[in-house]
A and B are shown apart, each in its own frame.
Chain A
Amino acid sequence: MTDVLTEDPGRAPQRLDGPDKVAGTARYAFEQPVDGPRYLHLVQAGIARGRVTGTDTSAAEALPGVHTVLTHENAEKVNAGGELAVLQSPEVAFRGQVIGAVLAETPEIAAQAAGLVEVTYERHPHESTFGVDDHRAQSPDTSSPMVTEDLDQGDVDAALEAAEYTVDVTYATPPEHNNPMEPHATVAVWEDGELTLYDSNQGPYVVRDVLVPIFGLDPERVHVVSPHVGGGFGSKGMPHAHVVATVMAARLTPGRPVKCALTRAQMFPLVGYRPPGFQRVRLGTDATGRLVATEHSALEQSSRLAEYAEQSAGASRDMYVSPNRRITNRVVALDVPVPTWMRAPGEAGGMYALESAVDEMAQACGMDPIEFRVHNEPDTAPTSGRPFSSRNLVTCLRRGAERFGWAERDPRPGVRREGDWLVGTGVAAASFPSFTIPGSVATVGYADGYYRVEIAASDIGTGARTALTQIAAEALEVPLSAVRLHLGSTAQPKASLAGGSSGTASWGTAIVQAARAFRAEHGEHPPEGAETTTKSEPDPEAGKYAMNAYGAQFAEVRVHADTGEVRVPRLLGVFAAGRIVNARTARSQFAGGMTMGLSMALHEHGVVDGRFGHVVNNDFAGYHIAAHADVGSVEVDWIDEHDPHVNPMGTKGIGEVGIVGVAAAIGNAAHHATGVRVRELPLTPEKFLTDG
């Protein structure tokens, strides 16, 4: 079906929802038309740790238009823990925590009244910052399915002792904050015992399944509707406190919907963030530059309210050969907001440290960084010994090198100058696991000449709606125009969340299996009203292979000789990510990830003031994200990869691998430009400025 899948971006189908988004008719959560809404504005803690001793809501309640001021004293008791135990006690676990909420006739009145709520506190000493050798470091709870245990293979210390060349370096990364274009928002409607939520999230069923036990609801009577989501990057993977507060408020006003949208400043403490950390990487090679020892230890921030373990050191588990390997992840629990997933959690930070250290290691061995990586390419996954379902990192590096002009590169650092700018180039590898989550349910039906496909997948701006329609059309062997796909709501059958770059693989598998079952049941000419629903089966090959997407990131960096300003005129990413379903939206995903990597490299830094316990640069003037002028040429390429093992489509996730490795490539290029090795993100001008 040439109109369904094509490698040619120019011929790939355009986003099916593109015209609606351009015209402004695609409705996001807060814009959903509901009758007579009230508005909720959150009240936040002004201390980092302690308890609320008194809340004077009289001034707020006296304001015309205020319906209710919720506090821990009058909020209903719910069955929740961690950040979702909203208004359940007077305890304050971090600055900015929700300690109240004002429900009013307009957003303006609600915000004004929130400012009139007088709160008194009993302050307790708090801890909101940590250091590289922190005595409070502890192992994360490895009983959690999300946490991987430490690894200690061989004898790392002896191997490092005997190694010909070694590096021992520590890289620091700051807090980074997911800031999707659409701020988190939710609209809750209680009517006749039914709860409907118009919510911005990465999985309608995740929201439903989290809320059901909290409020003791019948899952059949909870409906989550999220047709369009303006980005999430992990921060909308799980519902946050504002969703619980909004549902609570809506229960107080049956028949009157409640709308709540977070401000940008509120998003900093309330929707998660990538935790800051320190990563020490020790590498050792033999005389040929072959790695004999790899040690990667990560120490990252968590919250006393609930543990979140970023586990950046995991990036070194399966990347390169090394008979001796030690991987440890530690956390420091502080009186801070709960971190969460942010695009490529673990890999983004972990590969920054590893791929920077590898660049240093290659230099120590006197080897070209690409040749060093090729020289250390494993035949099988080093930790598990499993074969790779496919691994084309070397092809990516080779193709990228050719396209980038790597052969002409002078390896010496700090020797190229064009006008006032020092110029360098760098490379880094990218890797991200290929997840296919079983258990999503899809329905295929036929009526009025169209095939109707239903699955509660999420299009968070990725193009999932378009890609899944293509997959359905291919599986049914019909033109794209014959498929009507419905997603983004619990009105459709249950699907996994848009996370871990698993969406297209997991939902696509469900659709392909349902389409095959539909054809088996109803044939090539289905009767009007024919319908088949199936639940996706686990991949029989899962567990037999190591499954990852790979990439090679190249960067050209310019550092101003007088001021230290860092600019990135050129990025090239070459990826091996299985079959590309839609070349147009895939290119956009990769380029978006790379741009986010550039932003991570140069700009993003949540500044925590330990005295107060909050991020003080909590707006877009203070928390810098790359703007247009920072983004030069971003080229995306991919290799034609056929992986028969990952899933029926042969696809790997592409949402996250694009960010991985970019910060390392830029840092390596900045070193090549200047001879200065900066081991702390972001790469701000002062770090390249010498006081000479």
Chain B
Amino acid sequence: MKPFDYERADDTDGAIATVSDDPTATYLGGGTNLVDHMKLGVAEPGKLVDITKLPYDFVETLPDGRVSVGATVRNSELAASHVIRQSYPVLAQALLAGASGQLRNLATTGGNLVQRTRCAYFQDPSTPCNKREPGSGCSALEGWNRHHAILGASEHCVATHPSDMAVALAALDATVVVRGSNGQRRIPVTELHRLPGDEPERDTVLEHGELITSVELPAPSVSARSTYRKVRERASYAFALVSVAAVMEVDEGTVRDARIALGGVAHKPWRAEAAERELRGTPATEENFRRAAEAELEQAESLRDNAFKIPMTRNTLCAVLRELTREDRA
């Protein structure tokens, strides 16, 4: 590990100015991913600005019914929050499906969103990786790519985004509130993360120095049902092979609204818009679920080790839709 400077921020603007002015500086939240990268030699920041004492440790319901989650709220706290458990079960479930209890106690809401891929080659500086070292090549493309993308990948990068929480937020149409040296902007969470294209080194649309300060959830719908299903070979403490977050509104057997996001399949939480279009206004039947899943996966492309993700995603999506539309569901 390379030596680095550390400072604890006590005001937001000062932190943003410090990081914006120093290209080697970066924010430190829970450190559950960044500190690993520093040990591995994947990241070598010259300065860490610890933002965990900034005033973003809140979960509050806004007057219009939306819920605002501060960027430094720990994953374990958010999962335990009454309003989240009550009104956004998909989010609480996704959080609890992620990492381990110890990691969730440290990991923050903002940090979870900007965590980086767990691609083995990205994390191993002795192998080429376009995300870590642009232009060096993608080792996963023809290497061990069991965990890699089937949707939206490029010849430069086939990595997947590892977050569970972000998949739930994508299905919930959450908004990310960001501050930078030019002020505040609001980004739909589905537009926060990028597809790799020819710039796989850029995970998100954030500019250097921009800081996520909160995440806003739309006011909950009383008639919506939501759930998160994570598929993995180990029953805990493993990244998703595939995951599905879905928020459904069904009225007398007909799908009124479907918001679906897929995890473990793309460089970003993958909003399944094609499947959603297929489902809206149609009867909630097994046949329609399957047609929707297949519509979404029409674009899927598999690599040497991950062809299973296509049927696994299809099956998991169908199973989730079945569960959320069951008549007898309490």
A interface vs B, CB < 8 Å? 46, 108, 111-112, 115, 420, 562-567, 602-603, 607, 609, 611-612, 616-617, 619, 621-622, 624, 626-630, 682, 684-686, 689-692
Contact = CB atoms under 8 A, between A and B. Distances in A.
B1 A691 contact: no
Nearest to A685: B233
Contacts of A689: 308, 311-312, 315
B2 interface: yes
Contacts of B126: 46, 612
A616 B120 contact: yes
Contacts of B311: 689-692
A526 to B, nearest CB: 53
A629 B120 contact: no
Given A603-B233, A626-B234, 12 more contacts: A112-B1, A112-B3, A603-B234, A611-B143, A612-B139, A616-B121, A617-B144, A624-B233, A627-B234, A685-B233, A686-B241, A689-B308
A165 B44 CA distance: 64
A628 B239 contact: no
Interface string B291-330: 0000000000000000010111001101100000000000
A46 B1 CA distance: 18
A630 B235 contact: yes
Contacts of B312: 563-564, 685-686, 689
Nearest to B242: A563
B288 interface: no
23 contacts: A46-B126, A112-B2, A112-B3, A563-B316, A563-B319, A565-B232, A566-B233, A603-B234, A611-B139, A616-B120, A616-B121, A616-B144, A617-B144, A619-B123, A621-B238, A622-B118, A630-B234, A686-B308, A686-B312, A689-B312, A689-B315, A690-B311, A692-B311
A602 B233 CA distance: 8
A609 B144 contact: yes
Interface residues on B, range: 20 to 34
B235 A627 contact: yes
B231 A565 contact: yes
Tell me what chain B mostly uses at the interface: helix, strand, loop, or mixed.
Answer: loop
Contacts, number: 89
Contacts of A692: 311
Contacts of A691: 310-311
Given A563-B312, A565-B233, A566-B233, A609 B143 contact: yes
B13 interface: no
A73 to B, nearest CB: 22
B162 to A, nearest CB: 9
A117 to B, nearest CB: 13
Contacts of B318: 562
Contact of A624 (B3, B120, B238, B310): B238
B127 interface: yes
Nearest to B231: A563
B124 interface: yes
A428 to B, nearest CB: 21
Contacts of B316: 562-563
Interface centre among B121, B308, B318 (most CB of A within 10 A): B308
A689 B120 CA distance: 24
A689 B306 CA distance: 12
B143 A115 contact: no
B136 interface: no
B72 to A, nearest CB: 24
A108 B233 contact: no
A628 B315 CA distance: 27
B236 interface: yes
A111 B39 CA distance: 9
Contacts of B308: 564, 685-686, 689
Nearest to B99: A621
Nearest to A621: B118
A108 B233 CA distance: 35
Pairs A-B, 9 closest by C-beta atoms: A686-B308, A629-B236, A629-B235, A562-B315, A616-B120, A562-B319, A563-B231, A691-B311, A630-B235
A621 B239 CA distance: 8
Contacts of A630: 234-236
Contacts of B233: 565-566, 602-603, 624, 682, 684-685
A112 B41 CA distance: 10
Contacts of B3: 112
A129 to B, nearest CB: 12
Given A689-B308, A690-B311, A624 B144 contact: no
A692 B234 CA distance: 24
